[in-house]
Amino acid sequence: MDSNFLRPIEIEMIRSSINRAASRRINTPQPKPAPAEANNLLQTKKAGDWMLQEHGKPAAKQLFGSLWTEHELCILFADTNLGKSILAVQIANSLTKICSTAPFYNNLGASASVLYLDFELSSAQFSSRYYSPQWGSYLFSENFYRSEFNPSATAGVTSYPEYNDFMHREIEAAVQKTRAQALIIDNITYMRSGTSHVKDAMALMKMLKALKTKYQLSVLVLAHTPKRNPHKPLTVNDLQGSKMLINFADSAFAIGQSHSQPGMRYLKQIKQRNYKEEYGENNIALISLENHLNFLRYKFEGFAPERDHIRRPETGNKSHLHKKIIALRQKGHGLRKIADEVGVHFTTVGKILKKQEV
């Protein structure tokens, strides 16, 4: 019998095997083709490919020295009446006029379009800061746009499930209209119903980061500090609201008040990613306020350790310290609140009160 000849049973076995394989191919779910990468929520590449993508790109340009750089979401915070708005307008002015306040250089190399959302001042209050009888009104650049809150706005509000969504839409429309490259928000309190809860803070920062990415913006957000202990250095814990705000920010810096030189203030770097720390607790930047012709601004005064400018604990005059502690206790203050006020540990306050039987 020819060895190449297959018996009928062998042919049937082969045919059955082929049919089973074909059946498996038909019934097994086949992977769907991946959608375009641009539409994916997550963009996934090999680590080396990300490195190759960024290779050769120039470093982020500085907008206000290393405190705020191009395409960052940055937070500037300070206590009330320390001049956050004055500094923010000064920064915006420098970006539109290709100038700098040394050593906080702006190296964009060209005039930038800046949108300043002013939820703090009325138009009259804003104008009064940049006017003098002798020099008249300050001449701002054509690239400096200012928006203020319109409390009577109603058009379109009912089209959105929440007021925050309406606010988001309005900000995005203003960015599109002005073709802004930098967005400054003064201040964050007016952006949402609250920022003290993680949920609200996350939603706010996600919205700002989405705007930043979509329009390649550089964003500076102004915020307050709650009542803080003047005997301690400025830290991330001094930002009013949820710490989630700082976690989502690319950078942050703060204005502090000097307690050793009246009228003097200082800038301290709180968080940075693109550049190494320059203005930390051992090298704060001292600044003072001046009205130059018809422009209210800060000028740089030098560097110093922060410890030289925070309030000293009142331990030198024990008699005065004891009297102050007793007076605060008689007003009903607790041990920790008294301790924060006078700058000593709360256990020390307790011992003093115990001796005085207060």
Cα dihedral 256, 262, 263, 266, rounded to 10, equals: -30
pLDDT at 316: 53
Task: Name residue, tokens 């930038």.
Answer: 112
pLDDT at 1: 46
pLDDT at 12: 65
pLDDT at 314: 56
| b/e map 312-342, b = 16+ CB within 10 Å | eebeeeeeebbeebeebbeeebebeebbbbb
Residues of the chain with pLDDT under 70: 1-39, 154-160, 192-201, 241-242, 313-317, 343, 345, 357-358
pLDDT at 93: 97
CA 319 to chain centre: 44
pLDDT at 260: 86
CB 224 within 8 A of CB 72: no
Cβ neighbours of residue 333 under 8 Å, at least 6 residues apart?
341
Closest CA to 87 of 251, 261, 295: 295
Closest CA to 62 of 239, 218, 238: 218
pLDDT at 313: 61
**Structure confidence by residue, pLDDT tens digits, 279-332:** 999 999 999 999 988 999 999 999 999 999 987 765 556 777 777 888 888 888
**Region 73-308: CATH code:** 3.40.50.300
**CA–CA dist 18, 257 (Å, integer):** 84
pLDDT at 300: 96
Gap between the terminal Cα atoms of the chain: 119
CA distances from 227 to 78, 234, 304 (A): 10, 12, 24
CB 199 within 8 A of CB 236: no
User: Domain segments of the chain: what residues?
Assistant: 73-308, 318-356
pLDDT at 320: 72
Using a 10 angstrom Cβ sphere, with 0-12 exposed, 13-18 middle and 19 or more buried, the burial of residue 197 is middle
